[in-house]
Structure 1
Amino acid sequence: MIANTPIRSERIAADIEALAAITEPGRPWTRRAFTPRFLEGRAWLEQAMQAVGAVTQIDAAGNLIGTIPGSRPELGTIMLGSHSDTVPDGGRFDGIAGVIAALEVARALRDQGRVLEHTLEVVDFLAEEVSIFGVSCIGSRGMSDTRPLDWLTRESDGTTLEKAIAAVGGNPHRSAWRDDIKAFLELHIEQGPVLQNEETDIGVVTAIAGITRIEIIVEGRADHAGTTPMGSRKDALSTAAWIALGVEELARALAGGAAHFAATVGEFEMSPNAANVVPARVRMLIDARAELRQDMERFIDELDQGVVAIADKTGVTVSVPRLVSDNSPTPCDPGLLDILDAACETAGASHRRMASGAGHDTAWMARITRAAMIFVPCRDGRSHAPDEHAATEDIALGAAVLLQAVLALDAKLQEDS
């Protein structure tokens, strides 16, 4: 038990162990949305929510919500939570830690006999990770009314997303939009090494980075690899390699500032992909992430110029970089950041502000309410991997920060209303 708080680390450890154990046989830790194992995990969470006194429901977007009414429910709702689905072989803590920490906050309030004036809700969002339908954040997009209508017709394994949402208890043709949520807070493992390297307890997240994906097609010419002189070739791979190195150089320059920036050539397809043929075509997909929109705009502009320069140098045709998707950064609520900073001080947690380079449900909840999140350290920054790990003590300290923030919000929101 952490000093001066009713947060119980042993309960957190037991809950994470129990939920993580619900995994595909021989594949720790795999519990993908819409699968039988996911529904089994949902059933476990529903019982845990009910045990703390919450009334549970599945909303129209397929989110599992546990509701503990406040003494003055007309004031609105404070919502806590994350997601319980995983990527394949993806880890025991990504998402799970945030749901269990929210549940522990509800337990701690119960143990103190304390009833908030606002209603408290614990949420497990549906399909935060990329699902079998190829899309993510399905539940939070549904709650924020930002889920594209055409997503419902996406197909996988003989069914559609429309039918899959209905199968988990949602209603894909009814709005799940909410106007009663006054604040949303999410705890998550960092998924990076900064907190561990700096020996800092808590990251107070300033923004969710915008994610832009850019496709480039390089068109060279297939020739015999043994007989075509080096000076006569139009090698698509060599040109693509220059572009990939340019992406890294540009990203490193932008990452040298105060704001978060990263770019990766994450997909790379070459044809004909034969040892004795000069490569004729390469398709590249760049994943770029920026805390500040102006950094992304600079990246796109300089990438366009760089590609033209490389094509002129090599004599190989390169397409104009095409934006496949382009999402702007989502800043967290400044007032909530101040409350979280103060909560860290009250809980005795060292803390720093930092951006998130990964996407989270918080980014979509920020469309409809004040929203913010905190990070807790994870070992060596590893995530989306079987050896992902976060110390129970770190999660418990994060839960203690959440508890202090909820108590402060319960009073502060009344002042602001």
Structure 2
Amino acid sequence: MRRGQRGRACRTGHRPVHQPLASALTGGSVTKSNLPLDAGRLWSDIMALADITDPARPYTRRSFTTRFLEGRSWLARRFAEAGLTTRIDTAGNLIGRVEGRNPALGVIAVGSHSDTVPSGGRFDGIAGVATGLEIARALRDSGARLDHSLEIIDFLAEEPSEYGLSCVGSRGMTGSLDDRMLDLVEPGGEKLRDALRRVGGDPDRLPGARRSDILAFLELHIEQGIVLESQSLDIGVVSSIVGIRRLEIIFDGEADHAGTTPLQLRHDALVAAASTVSAVRRIAEQLDSEGLGYFVATVGILGVEPSASNIVPGRCTIVVDARTTNPALTKRFVAALDHESEAAATAARVRRSAFTTLSDGPPVACDQGLLALLRDAARDLGLAQTDLPSGAGHDAAFMSRICRSAMVFVPCRAGKSHAPEEWADQDAVAAGAAVILQAVKALDQSLQRR
């Protein structure tokens, strides 16, 4: 199974997994056409936001760009049209709010992110934000009003940004965005703190984004794997979210003429980097094979200077992304890679000038009480479900630092994500949104009994 998502169908008490979306429910009926929300309206929002893209690279709406801000403006208008009070907090998060009957009880939040990776997809993050919006409208249309206030959140820059940091907005909301991160610089020279100000945040008042009134956060997301599709399941209830550590390693050698410098006299930074890339894969395979938890590691950024065909590379930078459900494996990986990269530098006669942790998010177990509510909601809607760990990082992981947090996965075609081919069916997204809607209503009542 791909992207670290290993699961089996939880069939007890649910329909046989070979049947389509349930057509019957004890005490009533729920079908694709009468879920307790407007599936067509939800779908229309997802497609409309996807259309706000860089035409040369669909579907691209990178955080902090003009296109991203265009998408944000569209979302803000939709929030307002749905009757939500809308603002951008000091961490750059777009928030729409419906006051509850008793706002002093606190907030139930639903959301995700609207930014994409380059040439990304139409659903990653977007489906989660649109789900929150549709839940607010469905409650309004039915005449229901929660006792708790409801907030729909579009978190800033969940995807890795040009500043080398992901989950910028949820870090800010949870007090996890520090001055070192704000001083990160993108290739054009702009600091993250200046970019945050440019999109409506305020780095000078960042503590104001920290929340203590949010009691629970729910996020819908496409699975980004093939478990649900391959087993004909409707819903994945996310049991845990992997921890992600990103490391930057820099090798400094000497730039020389590629034709006149003998091999034995070269100080080639790329040779050391290439050896280290191989070590990343070798160490990760060993750790994953031990059965102590899921572990993967990737080198997705490789920078070579001066980057000319006739020059021996004088400097090379690599960024390593390591993900696991077991923090002890990350510790072992970093120690082994520290040793291997230093040895690679020595063998190539270059200097390893940096071995730096860019970001480090530990694994997160989703809240058991919320998981039970989501399972109950799926059961009551007649949907087949399973528990799944997430091999991808999400804003929900950071939100778990300040409140109860959980996620719902819906199937995506062939597990494709972060690509233009990313696809989830309308009925699948609507079913997942309905599960979260039902859980929100149940949560509104259960939180008052605690």
Shorter-chain TM-score above 0.5: yes
1:289-327 Cα distance to aligned partner (Å, 9 max, x none): 111112212323444566688899x79778599342351
Residue 400 of structure 1 corresponds to which residue in structure 2?
434
For 1:68 and 1:123, the matched residues in 2 are separated by 12
Structure 1: 5+ residue stretches without partners: none
Residue 418 of structure 2 corresponds to which residue in structure 1?
384
Q: Matched residue of 2:236: which SS?
A: strand
Confirm or deny: 8 A CA contact 2:242 2:325 kept in the other structure.
yes
For 2:275 and 2:163, the matched residues in 1 are separated by 34
Work out whether 1:266 is the aligned partner of 2:297. Answer: no
TM-score, structure 2 as length reference: 0.79
Work out whether 1:347 is the aligned partner of 2:377. Answer: no
Residue 121 of structure 1 corresponds to which residue in structure 2?
151
Confirm or deny: 8 A CA contact 1:204 1:337 kept in the other structure.
yes
Residue 149 of structure 1 corresponds to which residue in structure 2?
179
Residue 34 of structure 1 corresponds to which residue in structure 2?
64
Task: Rate the CA distance shift 1:236–1:344 in 2: closer, same or farther, 3 A.
Answer: same
Structure 1 residue identity aligned to 2:141: D
Residue 199 of structure 2 corresponds to which residue in structure 1?
168
My pick for the range that moved more, 269-278 or 403-412, is 269-278
Confirm or deny: 8 A CA contact 2:164 2:358 kept in the other structure.
no
Residue 78 of structure 2 corresponds to which residue in structure 1?
48
Residue 136 of structure 1 corresponds to which residue in structure 2?
166
Q: Matched residue of 1:142: which SS?
A: helix
Structure 1 residue identity aligned to 2:91: A
Residue 16 of structure 1 corresponds to which residue in structure 2?
46
| CA deviation after TM superposition for structure 1 residue 80, in Å | 0.3
Work out whether 1:254 is the aligned partner of 2:287. Answer: yes
Task: Rate the CA distance shift 1:235–1:170 in 2: closer, same or farther, 3 A.
Answer: closer
| CA deviation after TM superposition for structure 1 residue 169, in Å | 3.4
Residue 184 of structure 1 corresponds to which residue in structure 2?
217
Residue 197 of structure 1 corresponds to which residue in structure 2?
230
Written as runs of structure 1 = structure 2, the 5 A alignment for 1:170-249 is 170-174=201-205, 175-215=208-248, 243-249=276-282
Confirm or deny: 8 A CA contact 1:2 1:8 kept in the other structure.
no
For 1:401 and 1:97, the matched residues in 2 are separated by 14
Q: Matched residue of 1:393: which SS?
A: helix
Task: Rate the CA distance shift 1:165–1:309 in 2: closer, same or farther, 3 A.
Answer: closer
Q: Matched residue of 1:359: which SS?
A: coil
Structure 2: 5+ residue stretches without partners: 1-30
1:211-267 Cα distance to aligned partner (Å, 9 max, x none): 22345567899899999799x999887776565444324323433437321112333
Structure 2 residue identity aligned to 1:17: M
For 2:395 and 2:37, the matched residues in 1 are separated by 24
For 1:241 and 1:130, the matched residues in 2 are separated by 23
TM-score, structure 1 as length reference: 0.84
Residue 409 of structure 1 corresponds to which residue in structure 2?
443
Root mean square deviation of aligned Cα: 3.5
For 2:368 and 2:212, the matched residues in 1 are separated by 20
Task: Rate the CA distance shift 1:164–1:247 in 2: closer, same or farther, 3 A.
Answer: closer
Q: Matched residue of 1:384: which SS?
A: coil
| CA deviation after TM superposition for structure 1 residue 195, in Å | 2.9
| CA deviation after TM superposition for structure 1 residue 360, in Å | 1.8
Task: Rate the CA distance shift 1:55–1:285 in 2: closer, same or farther, 3 A.
Answer: closer
Task: Rate the CA distance shift 1:77–1:319 in 2: closer, same or farther, 3 A.
Answer: same
Residue 406 of structure 2 corresponds to which residue in structure 1?
372
Task: Rate the CA distance shift 1:159–1:337 in 2: closer, same or farther, 3 A.
Answer: same
My pick for the range that moved more, 116-125 or 220-229, is 220-229
